[in-house]
Amino acid sequence: MSQQPAPADNILELTDLTKRFGGLVAVDNVSLNIKRGEVFALIGPNGAGKTTLFNNVTGLFQPTSGRVVFDGRDITGFKPHQVARWGIARTFQNIRLFDYMTCLDNVRVGRHVRMKAKVWDSLLKLPRERREEERVTEEAMEFLRFVGIAKHANQYARNLAYGQQRRLEIARALATEPKLLLLDEPAAGFTPQEKVELMQLVKKILTRGITVFLIEHDMKVVMGISERIVVLDHGEKIAEGPPDEVRKDVRVIEAYLGKSA
């Protein structure tokens, strides 16, 4: 496949992305462009195919057809670890932490792709491996401080409170130094106070030059932080635009409230 360099202002371009499971079309011919440095939200009713779309971008699923171009590079069909290496990180809808590892280790796993140590370095604990470990530990602590859970560094991930687990997952994703961060329902189950804190955190992430692409159900959060929104229903894109426009879109209201409304 020929590689056409994307215009520099688009970090992610999906072209006619389709994913079928047998007869079910989970994502149906979706195209969208995400601009560098924006907060882009993906909304839609349950089962609309939002997480499936994320999974296609991150290589967990192979798209049935269509293209995924990230930062000017065609990454369609890449394996998850390759996608992560090129600079896309994600969190999961149902938090997937490494339960029986400490918070610090969770984040240090996030640093994995940016580390160089090989088997021999580790086996023999060569000085350069030691130095790298020390550096990475310090960096990992920085990420924990960034999301505000550094004091729990040596606790097992499973022992954290729910909100802290969400934060840890974000810290772990940030540790891979992504250019694009995918957040899958980051505010699910949050109190209003926690939602405000989350919005602040997303803004802080933006200042690091990271583009944020999120799935979210909570309209206050979506309207509060995102610059553009795409609405998915039954796998199809039914609306796209700034929050205010999308809110008024007839098809969107129908999709959420049913035709009778």
Partner 1 sequence: MSQRAAGGSGSILARFRLRERIRDRDQAVYGILIIAAVLFPLVTIYATDGTALVSQATRAGYFVLLAIGLNVVVGFAGLLDLGYAAFFAIGAYTYALLASPQLASSPAHHAVHLPFWLMLFVAMFVAAAAGAILGFPTLRLRGDYLAIVTLGFGEIVPQLFYNFDQWTGGINAVGIIDQPVLPAWIQGPWSGDGPVQIVRSFNFGGDPVAFYVLICILIAAAVILVSNLYRSRLGRAWMAIREDEVAAAAMGINTVTTKLLAFGIGASFSGFAGAYYAADVSLVSPDSFLFIVSITVLVMVVLGGMGNISGVIVGALVLYYVVFYLIPGLPENVTNLANSIGLSSETTHSLADATQHLNYIIYGAILVAMMLLRPQGLLPSRIREQELKHAAVQEEEAAVEMEHAT
State yes or no: residue 112 binds partner 1 (CB under 8 A). yes
Taking the complex as a whole, the smallest distance from the CB of residue 178 to partner 1 amounts, in Å, to 10
Those residues with Cβ within 8 angstroms of residue 94's Cβ, 6 or more apart along the chain or in another chain:
none
State yes or no: residue 156 binds partner 1 (CB under 8 A). yes
Alpha-carbon gap, residue 48 to 50, rounded angstroms: 6
Query: Of the ranges 62-70, 89-97, 204-212, 241-249, which one interacts with partner 1 (CB under 8 A)?
Result: 89-97
Site map (CB under 8 A) of partner 1, residues 179-218, x = contact: ----------------------------------------
What Cα–Cα distance (Å) separates residue 188 from each residue in 157, 195, 197, 215, 233? 18, 9, 13, 10, 20
Q: Of these, 13, 129, 216, 233, which contacts partner 1 (CB under 8 A)? A: 129
Position 255, amino acid:
A
Residue 166 is encoded by which pair of tokens?
């969400």
Query: Of the ranges 12-20, 31-39, 118-126, 230-238, which one interacts with partner 1 (CB under 8 A)?
Result: 118-126
Residue 23 is encoded by which pair of tokens?
């007869």
- With CB under 8 A as the rule, give the number of residues binding partner 1: 49
**CB distance 216 to 222 below 8 Å:** yes
* HSE of 160, CA atoms in CB hemisphere, 13 A: 29
State yes or no: residue 9 binds partner 1 (CB under 8 A). no
Q: Of these, 62, 122, 191, 200, which contacts partner 1 (CB under 8 A)? A: 122
* CB closer to partner 1 out of 78 and 190: 78
What Cα–Cα distance (Å) separates residue 231 from each residue in 10, 26, 235, 252? 19, 14, 10, 7
Residues near partner 1 (CB under 8 A)? 58, 60, 79-81, 84-85, 89-90, 92, 96-101, 105, 108-110, 112-113, 115, 117, 119, 121-125, 129, 132-134, 137-138, 141, 145, 150-156, 159, 172-173, 176
